[in-house]
Amino acid sequence: MNHLAVLGTSSHVGKSMVVAGLCRVLAREGLAVAPFKAQNMALNAYVALDGGEMGYAQALQAWAAGLEPTVDMNPILMKPGADGQAQLIVQGKVETRRPSRTWLEQQARASFDRLAQTYDVILMEGAGSPVELNLWEGDLANLALPRYAKASLMLVGDIDRGGVFASLHGTLALLPAEDRERVQGVLINKFRGNPALFEDGVAIIERLTQTAVLGILPYWAFSLPEEDGVGLESKPSQWTRPGFRVSVAVLPHISNFTDLAALEREPAVSLAWHREPPDQRPDLVVLPGSKATLADLEWLHKSGWAERIIQWQRQGTALLGVCGGFQMLGQWVCDPHHVEGSREKVAGLNLIPAVTTMKPMKITRRRQATVVAREFGHIRVDGYEIHNGDTKIQGVHRPLLAWDDGTKDGYVSEDSQVIGTYLHGILDGELFRRAFLARWGVPGGAGADPVEEGLKQLEEVIREHVGVRTLFSLVGV
C-alpha cells in the first residue's frame, strides 16, 4: 500500500480534519492506519500514556483511527511563548539544546519507521503551505518526510476564503518536479451551497493543474476541537443564544482551549470567546491555559480584564481557572529561573491565597482523580497535566480533586464561585460537567461525547463527497 501525505495551500484549510476523516473511514474499512505529522507548531497539546507531549490534532486523528495516541505520531512539536521564544518538544520531551536540522529529521524518520512497522498506511499531515520557498531548508512536515516515505500527495484548498483557483494552481506550479509527480489529486474544502453548481469550476481546475479533483467537501461546523489559535477566528465572539453566559478570556498565548469543547456544546450554555471584556456581566468567566502565564497575567492587568473580573466576581460571577488560568487566580506568579522569559514576578488576581513558582522541570502526565468538593459529588474524572508551575495554597482550603496517589489538586472557594484546577479535560466527562453546571441551576444535557459525534459527522462527509473507492485508490488498495 501507499502512504499518503495531505498538504494544504495554506494554514487552516482543513488538513487536520481531512486527515482525521480519512483515518476514520479507512480504519472502519478494515485498514491498519495511523496519523503522522513530523513537525507541528501549536499550543493545543495532549499527553500520551507514557507522559510524552504531542499535538492535540494528532491525538484526535489517532482517536479517529481507533488508536491510543503516541508521540511517534507527532515527534516534533513547537509551542510559541512570550518574548519571541518557543519551546521545542522532541519525542514528547522538552529539548533545551538547539539541535541541528539533521538530528531533528533523524528523530522524525525514526518515529515514522516505528509506525510503518505496525501499520499498513500512514496518513501524513503537512504544515501550512509546502511552497514557502524561504522555509524549505527547515521544513520537515511538507516535503522531507513524505519524500522519505515515498508517499503519494493530496493537496487541499479552502474555497471559503476565496482564491482557490490561484492557490491550487500556484502551489502545484511551485512544487519541485519530484514532488509534483506524486500528487494524486486536489480536494476542495469548505464549499457553501450545492457542489453541483461548481462543475465548471472543477473542469477549470483540472485543466489548469492537469490534476484530478478528488472531491468537494461542504462547509460544515464539525463539533471537533481546533488545532491551534487560528481556529478561534471562527468561534463566536458574542453570546449567540439565551442561556448560562460563559465568557472565555482569549489570552495572547492561550493554550489547550480544547478543554471547553464539551461545555461549548451544552444546549443551556451560551459560550463566547472574548478578546476584550464584554459589556454585559457573564455568569461564568473561564481563564484557560497559557503557554506564557506571566506575560498573559500582565496582559490581563493592562487590558482591563483583571479589574473587570474582580468586579464581576464581587457581583456574583463565577470563575474557573484551568492550569495557567488557575495560577493567575492566585496572589503571585514567580519565575526565578526565567522559564517563560524575562519576567520574574507578576501579581495575580488575588482571588485564591496561593503563590505559583515556575520550575525548570515540566510536568506532563495523564491523571485520574476523584472530585472531593462536596457540591460536585463524589465523581471520577480523568485528563492530563501540562505545566511548569508549582502552586502552593496557603492555609486551610478546599481542594477540588484527590489524585489517585492521595495528593490533592485545585481550589474551591466556600461559596463555590472561584474554582481552579491543573486538570486539562475535566469538563469532557459528562458526569462532572452536569454536576458543575447544576451548581448554578443549569441543566447539562449534551449527552454524547462531542469528539465522537464530530468524527461521525466527518466520516459521513468524507464517504459522501470523496468516497471509499477514491480513498482506496489513493493508498494503493
The whole-angstrom distance between residue 175's C-alpha and the CA centroid of its chain comes to 29
* CA nearest neighbour of 246 among 19, 436, 459, 462: 436
Distances (CA, A) of 473 to 118, 125, 369, 458, 477: 21, 18, 46, 20, 6
CA dist 475 and 341 (Å) reads 45
C-alpha cell at 477: 488498495
Helix axes 15-28, 56-64, angle to 10 degrees: 20
Tell me how crowded residue 164 is: count the other CB atoms within 10 A of its CB.
22
* CA nearest neighbour of 432 among 320, 289, 300, 333: 320
CA atoms within 13 A on the CB side of 103: 7
C-alpha cell at 331: 496572589
Tell me how crowded residue 32 is: count the other CB atoms within 10 A of its CB.
15
Q: 120: burial class by Cβ within 10 Å (0-12, 13-18, 19+)?
A: middle
What dihedral do alpha carbons 420, 426, 430, 431 form, nearest 10°?
-60
334 is catalytic: no
- Classify strands 354-371 and 244-249 as parallel, antiparallel or unpaired: unpaired
Active-site residue, from 23, 169, 253, 323: 323
C-alpha cell at 236: 463566536
CA dist 263 and 269 (Å) reads 7
424 is catalytic: yes
Please, are residues 290 and 255 in contact by the beta-carbon 8 Å criterion?
yes
Please, are residues 175 and 206 in contact by the beta-carbon 8 Å criterion?
no
The whole-angstrom distance between residue 310's C-alpha and the CA centroid of its chain comes to 29
Q: Which residues are catalytic?
A: 323, 424
